[in-house]
Amino acid sequence: MSIYTRKGDYGETYALGNTKIPKDHPCVEAYGQIDELNAILGVVIAFCDDRDITIPLKQVQKELFSVGAELAANHRMQKLPKIRPLHITELEKLIDSIEKELLPLTHFILPGGSRTASLLHHARTVCRRAERRVVAFSKTKRINENIVIYLNRLSDLLFVMARLVNKKKRKEEIVWAGR
């Protein structure tokens, strides 16, 4: 089977369930952003040598694949894996455990530091964009409300992971002074 089908050559694509939609449809925009987020997490994993970061991110990648499938599916496809409150709770537990290793944050900090932390900050911004696209899509079609919550927690996780990596690499956090 060839990777190209020519079905998308005229600005349309097929969502799961064989529903034809324009490539600029909010659904495609939403699951496309999830795909981009998953790709940047793959880059983070490739550059990161810390299993405390890579192992949970590999699980997140699997969950994001489910998010994308759920967004792309039509209402008849009920058997797809779904993001559930348990997934959100797992992210919260991980955030809480990481925050115990960090000094409390009292100022805004600039993204950066080590290469891995910088990539995590980049992934966080991609996650926030994906969240905005999913919210926009949710105005056109009812979606699983856990997806937006999951993305919100995931961006928090990526932020604290970046801080943890910088701490372990002894990279100073640069405080934004507002000037």
Instruction: Give the per-residue pLDDT at 18.
Output: 65
**pLDDT tops 60 at residue 149:** yes
**pLDDT tops 60 at residue 8:** yes
Q: What percent of the chain has pLDDT over 70?
A: 92
The pLDDT tens digits of the residues spanning 83-115 come to 999 999 999 999 999 999 999 998 899 999 999
Long-range CB contacts (within 8 A, 24+) of 66-71: 67/31, 67/34, 67/147, 67/150, 67/151, 68/31, 68/34, 68/35, 68/38, 69/16, 69/31, 70/143, 70/144, 70/147, 71/27, 71/30, 71/31, 71/34, 71/134, 71/137, 71/143, 71/147
Lowest mean pLDDT among 5-9, 15-19, 103-107, 157-161: 15-19
Instruction: Give the per-residue pLDDT at 144.
Output: 94
Instruction: Give the per-residue pLDDT at 9.
Output: 73
**pLDDT tops 80 at residue 56:** yes
Does the pTM surpass 0.85? The reply is yes
Residue 139's pLDDT band (boundaries 50, 70, 90)? very high
The pLDDT tens digits of the residues spanning 112-127 come to 999 999 999 999 999 9
- How many whole angstroms separate alpha carbon 69 and alpha carbon 78? 11
> What average pLDDT does range 7-29 have in this prediction?
74
Instruction: Give the per-residue pLDDT at 59.
Output: 98
Residue 17's pLDDT band (boundaries 50, 70, 90)? low
**pLDDT tops 60 at residue 77:** no
CATH of 20-168 given 1.25.40.10, 3.40.50.300, 1.20.1200.10, 1.10.10.10: 1.20.1200.10
Instruction: Give the per-residue pLDDT at 5.
Output: 75
> What average pLDDT does range 48-67 have in this prediction?
97
